[in-house]
Amino acid sequence: MKIQTTTFIPVQRKPKDRLVRERECRAITGLARQRRWELEKQGKFPKRVYLGKRSVAWRLSDLEKWIEEVSENGLI
Protein backbone atom coordinates (compact mmCIF):
# COMPACT_ATOMS: atom_id res chain seq x y z
CA MET A 1 0.00 0.00 0.00
CA LYS A 2 1.42 3.34 -1.09
CA ILE A 3 0.74 6.34 1.15
CA GLN A 4 0.50 9.66 -0.60
CA THR A 5 1.53 12.75 1.32
CA THR A 6 0.54 16.29 0.55
CA THR A 7 2.46 19.35 1.60
CA PHE A 8 0.36 22.36 2.50
CA ILE A 9 1.90 25.77 2.09
CA PRO A 10 0.21 28.41 4.23
CA VAL A 11 -0.96 31.43 2.30
CA GLN A 12 -0.31 34.80 3.88
CA ARG A 13 -3.44 36.88 3.42
CA LYS A 14 -3.53 40.55 4.11
CA PRO A 15 -6.63 41.58 6.04
CA LYS A 16 -9.03 43.35 3.71
CA ASP A 17 -9.14 46.33 6.02
CA ARG A 18 -8.41 47.09 9.63
CA LEU A 19 -8.34 50.00 12.01
CA VAL A 20 -5.09 51.81 12.79
CA ARG A 21 -4.60 53.60 16.09
CA GLU A 22 -2.64 56.82 16.74
CA ARG A 23 0.88 55.43 17.07
CA GLU A 24 0.64 53.31 13.94
CA CYS A 25 -1.01 56.13 11.98
CA ARG A 26 1.92 58.39 12.87
CA ALA A 27 4.38 55.70 11.77
CA ILE A 28 2.56 55.10 8.48
CA THR A 29 2.06 58.74 7.48
CA GLY A 30 5.04 60.40 9.11
CA LEU A 31 2.76 63.22 10.26
CA ALA A 32 2.23 64.46 13.80
CA ARG A 33 -1.22 64.32 15.36
CA GLN A 34 -1.74 68.10 15.07
CA ARG A 35 -0.83 68.19 11.36
CA ARG A 36 -3.16 65.27 10.56
CA TRP A 37 -5.96 67.02 12.46
CA GLU A 38 -5.40 70.22 10.46
CA LEU A 39 -5.41 68.32 7.16
CA GLU A 40 -8.52 66.39 8.19
CA LYS A 41 -10.36 69.66 8.92
CA GLN A 42 -9.37 70.89 5.42
CA GLY A 43 -10.61 67.64 3.86
CA LYS A 44 -7.07 66.62 2.85
CA PHE A 45 -6.66 63.65 5.20
CA PRO A 46 -8.92 60.63 5.84
CA LYS A 47 -11.55 61.11 8.51
CA ARG A 48 -11.06 59.35 11.81
CA VAL A 49 -13.40 56.66 13.10
CA TYR A 50 -14.62 57.22 16.65
CA LEU A 51 -14.40 54.07 18.75
CA GLY A 52 -15.53 55.74 21.96
CA LYS A 53 -15.54 59.11 23.69
CA ARG A 54 -11.74 59.38 23.74
CA SER A 55 -10.70 56.70 21.29
CA VAL A 56 -10.19 57.10 17.54
CA ALA A 57 -8.68 55.13 14.68
CA TRP A 58 -8.29 55.32 10.91
CA ARG A 59 -9.05 52.73 8.25
CA LEU A 60 -5.81 51.35 6.86
CA SER A 61 -7.29 51.31 3.36
CA ASP A 62 -8.07 55.05 3.63
CA LEU A 63 -4.49 55.79 4.72
CA GLU A 64 -3.03 53.70 1.89
CA LYS A 65 -5.25 55.49 -0.64
CA TRP A 66 -4.25 58.88 0.80
CA ILE A 67 -0.54 58.00 0.55
CA GLU A 68 -0.99 57.07 -3.11
CA GLU A 69 -2.81 60.35 -3.83
CA VAL A 70 -0.17 62.41 -2.05
CA SER A 71 2.69 60.69 -3.84
CA GLU A 72 0.99 61.21 -7.24
CA ASN A 73 -0.38 64.72 -6.73
CA GLY A 74 1.71 66.20 -3.94
CA LEU A 75 -1.30 67.37 -1.92
CA ILE A 76 0.63 68.46 1.17
* SS3 sequence of 2-45: CCCCCCCCCCCCCCCCCEECHHHHHHHHCCCHHHHHHHHHCCCC
Number of structural domains, the chain? 1
Let me know if residue 56 belongs to a domain.
yes
User: Which pLDDT value is given to residue 68?
Assistant: 94
Rounded to an integer, what distance in angstroms lies between the CA atom of residue 37 and that of residue 45?
8
- Residue 24 CA, distance from chain mean position: 8
Secondary structure class of 74 (helix, strand, coil)? coil
Let me know if residue 5 belongs to a domain.
no
Question: Over its length of 76 residues, how does the chain's per-residue pLDDT go in tens digits?
Answer: 667 666 766 666 666 789 999 999 999 999 999 999 999 999 999 999 999 999 999 999 999 999 999 998 876 6
User: Which pLDDT value is given to residue 74?
Assistant: 77
Let me know if residue 1 belongs to a domain.
no
User: Which pLDDT value is given to residue 55?
Assistant: 95
Let me know if residue 54 belongs to a domain.
yes
